Chains A and B, each alone.
Chain A
Amino acid sequence: NAGVMQNPRHLVRRRGQEARLRCSPMKGHSHVYWYRQLPEEGLKFMVYLQKENIIDESGMPKERFSAEFPKEGPSILRIQQVVRGDSAAYFCASSPNTGREQYFGPGTRLTVT
């Protein structure tokens, strides 16, 4: 059973470009979570999605960031007009149900130049 998959693993963008990060949850998991890890810090929750629904986006910056989890295909975290402060590792996690432990992907390391 494949684990949570994220791609790309590394992404370099210039300031002002768009970044698209993809997450494929584990088979049978319909809940997806995105977290951001700034250098030398812990992970901060960004958004929680179920298929076609955003359940909790309390950790998402109000501008430039959006997330989706369509009926078919991976979950996408989209960052428009990236700035240097967006440089971080972005981790996706999935779970089969609410209240269950989360399984993490390897992360996407975004560098904004």
Chain B
Amino acid sequence: GQNIDQPTEMTATEGAIVQINCTYQTSGFNGLFWYQQHAGEAPTFLSYNVLDGLEEKGRFSSFLSRSKGYSYLLLKELQMKDSASYLCAVTSGGSYIPTFGRGTSLIVHP
């Protein structure tokens, strides 16, 4: 099976930088997704990491270390609209269906 762990809740200030961590335990790792989910809405895709290193996409970056079973999502220049739940999800083995973590609720305040 898979075990995915991420903090339940984080708070940050508008304009700041926040890092959301995700650790996982799995066999036959394929890749790791980050999704954003605003309250009452469907999750939307943010990033996908297969290889070690940092993937940058605008204000959002995602990092992966396969040897450590660790990823983080970095959000820069935080805006109020970034308040949402951020879901880490992992695919492994012969399946490309992701298993989701519980999500991290990020609250951005002025």
Physical interaction between A and B: no
Residues of A participating in the B interface, judged by any CB pair closer than 8 Å: none
Mark B residues whose CB is within 8 Å of A. Answer: none
